[in-house]
Chain A
């Protein structure tokens, strides 16, 4: 993806660069406000003072997808809204992450059986990184989801994976 990715094998430079890039990315995740239903209230509570999300660096909620790197899908995704969710996800610049908050976005939630208007899970529309269960999840749960996402970001690496070369060679010859 980036120019430097997959060029250098693991070493001092790459791991230091990794640490710096991941530190920057994980401590400044700016969410896009995507409150669709009741989970949005819990997301607002997370943004407020008691369960402060700003102490994780993620307090700057952007209204536009152009400046956001995290889309917290908070609420039921209906078929009408799903097209907009997909379009907004595509309009976000990389690197982008998605948190599926609440039971409705995980697998349809309470609307799974009779909800003819509900998309049964937002992962049918956009790729999801972290699922936060709950109906609605407590603000602490959403913060736990954010911390899990930060861990996921910190494990990213730009180093060349020696296994990848072997796999690609095997695929090329096969």
Chain B
């Protein structure tokens, strides 16, 4: 092949795209690094031991800042996976449904089966009820006291 100059018509389109992407990433990184470097040389550095203390509204700190994360938030993660990620993964399958054929259908049904197990867990343990408090029976004594005090309480409550 003769040596050709690199004009936009000669560079194939996918190579153009890759170059564009690389240039974009490079420019973004360079901008951030320039700002950080300028800060590194221009900002004052006066370390002080109290500057590293955790902030507690001016009081000396009590207790550790490392507290245990409440484990019950796993329910939030589970609901997110089951609804959001499932929908997000269903969309590409729906687009290529016809070309994927029977193998695609069985594959997706297996995925859906795994999801349904999680969904059944949520449903069975009541994590899907909108307001959980009203699902429980109200706490009330089984026996109505029939004495005068009980009658007065029922009359005036």
B95 at the interface (CB under 8 A from A): no
* CB within 8 Å of A: which B31-54 residues: 40-46, 48, 50-51, 53
* CB within 8 Å of B: which A59-87 residues: 64-66, 83-85, 87
* CB within 8 Å of A: which B54-74 residues: 55, 57-60
A116 at the interface (CB under 8 A from B): no
Cross-interface CB contact of B42 among A4, A66, A91, A93, cutoff 8 Å: A4
Cross-interface CB contact of A91 among B40, B41, B46, B55, cutoff 8 Å: B55
The interface size of chain A toward B, counting residues with CB under 8 Å, comes to 20
Task: Return chain B residues, CB-CB under 8 Å to A4.
Answer: 41-42
Contact status A2-B50, CB under 8 Å:
no
**Nearest B residue to A87, CB-CB:** B58
Report Cα–Cα, A64/B53, bound state, in Å: 13
Contact status B50-A94, CB under 8 Å:
no
Q: Tell me the minimal C-beta distance from B97 to chain A in angstroms.
A: 51
Report Cα–Cα, A2/B57, bound state, in Å: 28
Chain B interface secondary structure, helix, strand, loop or mixed?
loop
Contact status B45-A91, CB under 8 Å:
no
Task: Return chain B residues, CB-CB under 8 Å to A162.
Answer: none
Contact status B44-A88, CB under 8 Å:
no
A21 at the interface (CB under 8 A from B): yes
Task: Return chain B residues, CB-CB under 8 Å to A2.
Answer: 41-45
Report Cα–Cα, A4/B126, bound state, in Å: 63
Contact status B44-A95, CB under 8 Å:
yes
Report Cα–Cα, A93/B52, bound state, in Å: 10
Task: Return chain B residues, CB-CB under 8 Å to A94.
Answer: 43-46
Task: Return chain B residues, CB-CB under 8 Å to A66.
Answer: 55
Task: Return chain A residues, CB-CB under 8 Å to B48.
Answer: 90
Contact status A91-B51, CB under 8 Å:
yes
Task: Return chain B residues, CB-CB under 8 Å to A170.
Answer: none
A12 at the interface (CB under 8 A from B): no
**Nearest A residue to B56, CB-CB:** A87
Q: List 23 A-B contacts (CB under 8 A).
A: A1-B44, A1-B46, A2-B41, A2-B42, A2-B43, A3-B41, A4-B41, A4-B42, A5-B44, A21-B42, A64-B55, A65-B55, A84-B58, A87-B58, A87-B60, A90-B50, A90-B51, A91-B50, A91-B51, A91-B53, A93-B51, A94-B45, A94-B46
- B residues bordering A, Cβ < 8 Å? 40-46, 48, 50-51, 53, 55, 57-60
